[in-house]
Amino acid sequence: MVSTPVRALTYAQAVNESFHQEFERDPSVILMGEDVAGGAGRDEFEDAWGGVFKLTGGLIAKYGPDRVRDTPISENGFMGAAVGAAATGLRPIADLMFVGFVGVCGDQIFNNMSKMHYMFGGKVNLPLTVITSTGAGVGSAAQHSETLYSIFVHFPGLKCVAPSNPYNAKGLHTAAIRDNDPVIVFNNKLLMGGARGPGTGAGIHVPEDSYEFPIGKADRPREGTDVTLIGISYTTLQCLKAAEILEQKGFSAEVIDLLSLSPLDEDAILSSVKKTRNVVIVDEDYPMCSMASELSALIAEQAFDFLDSPPIRLCAPHASVPYSPVLEAEYIPSPEKIAQSALSILE
Amino acid sequence: MNQEHRPLTFVQAINEGIRTRMREDASTIVMGIDVAGAAGKADEGFIDHFGGTFSMTKGLIQEFGTSRVLDTPISETGFVGAGVGAAAAGLRPLVDMMFVGFIGVCGDQIFNNMAKMHYMFGGKVNLPITIQAQTAASGGNAAQHSETLYSIFAHFPGLKCVVPSDPYSAKGLQIAAMKDDDPVVVFQSTRLMGVNFDQHVPEDAYELPIGKSRIVRSGDDVTLIGIGTTTRTCIQAAESLAKQGYEAEVVDLLSISPLDEETILSSISKTRKVVIVDEDYPKCSVASELAALSAEKAFDLLDAPPKRVTAPHSSIPYSSVLEQLHFPSVEMVTNACLEVIN
Amino acid sequence: MAKSQSSISKDKLMWMYETLVLIRRFEEQAKREADQGRILGTHSAIGEEATPTGICAHLRDDDYVLGNHRSHHHCIAKGVDINEMMAELLGKATGTNKGKGGTMHIADATKGMLGANGVVGSNIPVATGCALSAKVQGKDSVSVVFFGDGASSQGSLHESMNLAAIWNLPVLFVCENNRYAESTPFEYAVAGQSVANRAAGYGMPGVTVDGQNVIEVYEVAGEAVERARKGDGPTLIEAMTYRYHGHFGADNPMGYRTPEEQKYYEDKDCIIAMEQFLVDNGTATKKQLEEIDNDAKARVEKATQFAIDSAYPDPSELLSDVYIKYP
């Protein structure tokens, strides 16, 4: 038997490949955002950045400035323009550089994007995708290090996904672009890499051809029997590392990679918890009214009699992200902390 | 001593709370769209046309003048941000953002400045600012003017969030919020504004402490947690349950952030069942937060899973027959209680 | 009335008169419905009929119009069916939005009416996006967004004008300056006392027009639409107009303006002026105009009956159309 060599792309490369393939496939796909190309208006500096996290490099050269548009710093303006364009025949991708900037375009996302299809009696579709960056750990301080999943999930009408590796990143971006509903894609900074590090990618095979990862489906990168660890995006990696620590202590952890925040894959979550009877949910967002709280409430409501112990939520602390590296290092739940939590209910 | 029964409406109580603070403290100002109205036309004899969209700031401009009661243009980012700046520089603003669904046009000022500045500046700057926002679905205001959105604010560290449920708590929380040196968001339900509470509201200044819930009805069979509008729904459901022989304990949440875990958990340890009623959208709601808290910290005490009764995962429709289905009804709450009791 | 109207065809002139009258009668009925308690008070456009009429006279079904909270006149001028509009106001399943949007969100994509919107300034960037869409797809559709003097203080207007200017988009930014934002007068709220002058800061033409004069609006709009269709970019139009009623149903405007001021503007009523003009230059007789008015009343009556006779939405509609598909 001939084994296929692993085609390892970085997260950013995988997402970039999805964009190139979708631009090629569908001429109604357009992209807008700040420095998604860069050097706007100056031919000799075209594509100076290709996006802050390098997700969108190479697109302007192939598809031109009509379809790949650098915008002024006007989130309200271009997010709203994405809504209007989506309502009238285009399939826009809009880049909200840091999720913490949602405050300057919240109206377009919460009041238009999420509601128009419903308010207009289902007669107008908004097939648009918003990509945004999340997460702490790179010293960007309080306003550039947030995660805010639950803010978007709270609003009916939005679908929300958070990839965790290059394979599902490519598949989820493709699925999001093709979806006829508005989809928000959360891309974690540490996964994407960039100025502060290489990101992730080692060893995960990314098929060259185009494929979708279905929205609404979780993944189970590790099977186990003693405890379920639920991770979201970056924290899935933390959970996988924690599972190894637990293995050395003689416990078998199952890791669920949530991937789809709205809609949730309730089947995958509940069937895992009903099997292991213990659950730790790891979410690097603020704790109050978080995805972790939502998952805990769901599990308590639907799997109460199966639980041997209370659902545990491990989140960021109820505090803004601090700047000082010594403080920031404590902010995201670490593999050690996750393992510790699991042990506290297993032992 | 017997105080004469002094019933105020929800709106009158809030108005009295604001007026009290403005009399007590000269640095307190009020800003917002039509907080008075007919701006700039006082010499033509037009003043205080609205006194607030819901009349909560009526009469203030006559007493305190235009330097302390400021009508603003329709520039939420502008005037909420100005409120933050004014608070950082010595004033104590009350900013009325009108419908909570307008958060999208001033979100940055609230989430990135108001919530974070104290922390980011190493605790060296205080923002004694109060935001008031009107909530709830009523009268066909449709999707953008009928939201509740508690959890959107509660999610952000740095903000305190309170929800009065009747005139007495409205005045007490308004005063507490405006006296607090931290940023506080007060959610004022439009569905409570037309209710005939016939409830005594003391004339003097009093505060309800932020961070404390209150038991408004004692019982042993189930804990019902209500928030603002839904506290009334819970009380009505409790009455319905009583007719069927069950006594519900109703906890009026009052404070969303910080939560009064002690009151909530001690009630659950008594009744061993909890039903949480929240008119906000369901996912990642305060109801979810309370259910998670109950499961985590009262796990061994609970006889049944924590139950959430919320609005559905949909926007608020315009048509009245659909709109009334969006709000958790007394019947839905009663049935939820019966489900966990049996 | 003003000059060079001989170049406007009789058909077009009569269409404009019919539209003005239809809007007026529709809005009067909407007000009656509210007074009778059948619907919540709407944001009445009575008095403001001329601006969208003069503009929509140049538009096709594949041109886009986006409105604000006071949008019934925008919808009617753009050709949205008044039966469906009235049904929407009553929250019926046969409404434009199946009863789910109501007065502030009426939309009909088949006529290019991409919605009224309840948040001030919220639709301005959206309209800019529709123009972007047309340009990218190589269509010569134009996009018109209506907003008020109140919205001219919103950041969304400035961001959108800037975008439209740098990308040369076919959009008309139309400010219906009715002099009040709720109860706040224009003189208080708008720095520089002119919305049209703000255009210069974005390198685009800004024009002020008498919004009560449908012919003048028609002419100014004609230039702007042609400019946009040719690919010469956006225009800001400030149409001076007046609403005869309060901000919304229950608001009594005598709390912030005088009866004298009200009368001054009512004397310049756009329908009376147009009647005068059509009769004076022989385009129509008084009798013909009366017939048109009667016809409008009959149509509105029919629409009202249609709305009353229509069924309410089924309860299952509460949860439908949140998404197209979930998951």
pLDDT tens-digit map of A217-273: 999 999 999 999 999 999 999 999 999 999 999 999 999 999 999 999 999 999 999
Q: Is C73 a member of any domain?
A: yes
> Average pLDDT of chain C?
92
User: Residues C51-79: what's their mean pLDDT?
Assistant: 96
Q: Do B305 and A154 touch (CB under 8 A)?
A: no
The structural domains of chain A, ordered by start, are 11-192 (3.40.50.970), 219-346 (3.40.50.920)
Nearby residues of A294 by Cβ (< 8 Å), 6 or more positions away: A150, A153, A264, B283, B284, B285, B288, B292
**Which phi and psi (to 5°) does residue C219 adopt?**
-70, -45
Per-residue pLDDT of chain B (342 residues; tens, 9 = 90+): 557 999 999 999 999 999 999 999 999 999 999 999 888 888 888 889 899 999 999 999 999 999 899 999 888 998 899 899 899 888 999 999 999 999 999 999 999 999 999 888 888 889 999 999 999 987 788 899 999 999 999 999 999 999 999 999 999 999 999 999 999 999 999 999 999 999 999 999 999 999 999 999 999 999 999 999 999 999 999 999 999 999 999 999 999 999 999 999 999 999 999 999 999 999 999 999 999 999 999 999 999 999 999 999 999 999 989 999 999 999 999 999 999 999
Within a domain: C247: yes
* Dihedral pair phi/psi, residue B262, rounded to 5°: -60, -50
Alpha carbons C32 and C29: distance in angstroms, whole number: 5
Number of Cβ atoms within 10 Å of the Cβ of C280? 9
How much is the pTM? 0.90
Determine whether the interchain pair B312/C319 forms a contact, defined as Cβ–Cβ distance below 8 Å.
Answer: yes
Within 8 A of B305 by CB-CB distance, chain A residues are 300-302, 304
Is C179 domain-assigned? yes
Give φ, ψ of B102 to 5 degrees.
-85, 5
Contact B295 A102 (CB under 8 A): no
Strands C171-177 and C143-148: parallel
CA distance, residue A181 to nearest chain B CA (Å): 14
pLDDT the model gives residue A3:
64
3-state SS, residue B235: helix
Looking up residue C269, the CATH number of its domain turns out to be 3.40.50.970
Mutate to test the interface with A, among B74, B148, B153, B155 (most CBs of A within 10 A): B155
* Residues of chain A found within 8 Å of residue C64, distances taken between Cβ atoms: 84, 88
In tens, the pLDDT along C134-188 reads 988 889 999 999 999 999 988 999 989 998 998 899 999 999 999 988 878 888 8
In the structure, what pLDDT confidence band is assigned to residue A2 with cuts at 50, 70 and 90?
Answer: low
Question: Quick one: which H or E segment has residue B291?
Answer: helix B286-297
Residues whose CB falls within 8 Å of the CB of residue A230, separated by 6 or more in sequence, listed in order = A239, A255, A256, A258, A269, A279, A280, A281, A282, A295
Q: For residue range A290-339, what is the model confidence (pLDDT) as tens digits?
A: 999 999 999 999 999 999 999 999 999 999 998 888 888 889 999 999 99
Sheet of C206-210: strand order equals C64-66, C143-148, C171-177, C235-240, C206-210
Q: Cβ A86–C129 below 8 Å, yes or no?
A: yes
Separation between Cα atoms, residue A165 and residue A56, nearest integer Å? 17
The H-or-E segment that residue A230 falls in is: strand A227-231
Asked if the peptide bond before residue C313 counts as cis, ω within 30 degrees of 0, the response is: no
Residue B321, number of CB atoms within 10 A of its CB: 18
Confidence of residue C3 (pLDDT cuts 50, 70, 90): very low
ipTM above 0.85, yes or no: yes
Domain that holds residue C255: 5-308
Helix, strand, coil percent content, chain B, rounded in steps of 5:
40, 15, 45
User: Residues 166-185, chain C: which have Cβ within 8 Å of B?
Assistant: 181-185
Chain C residues with CB under 8 Å of B320 CB are 91
Minimal Cβ distance to B284: which of A141, A153, A322: A153
- Domains of chain B in start order, with CATH, are 10-189 (3.40.50.970), 214-341 (3.40.50.920)
Task: State yes or no: pLDDT of A115 exceeds 80.
Answer: yes
Residue C314 lies in a domain: no
Report yes or no on C317 lying in a domain: no
Residue C6 has pLDDT above 70, yes or no: no
Q: How many CA within 13 A on the CB side of residue A259?
A: 28
Complete DSSP assignment for B16-79: HHHHHHHHH-TTEEEEETTSS-STT-GGGT---SSSSTTSTTTTHHHHH-TTTEEE--S-HHHH
Chain C residue whose CA is closest to A71: C163
**For range C17-23, the mean pLDDT:** 98
CA dist B250 and B222 (Å) reads 8
**Total structural domains within chain C:** 1
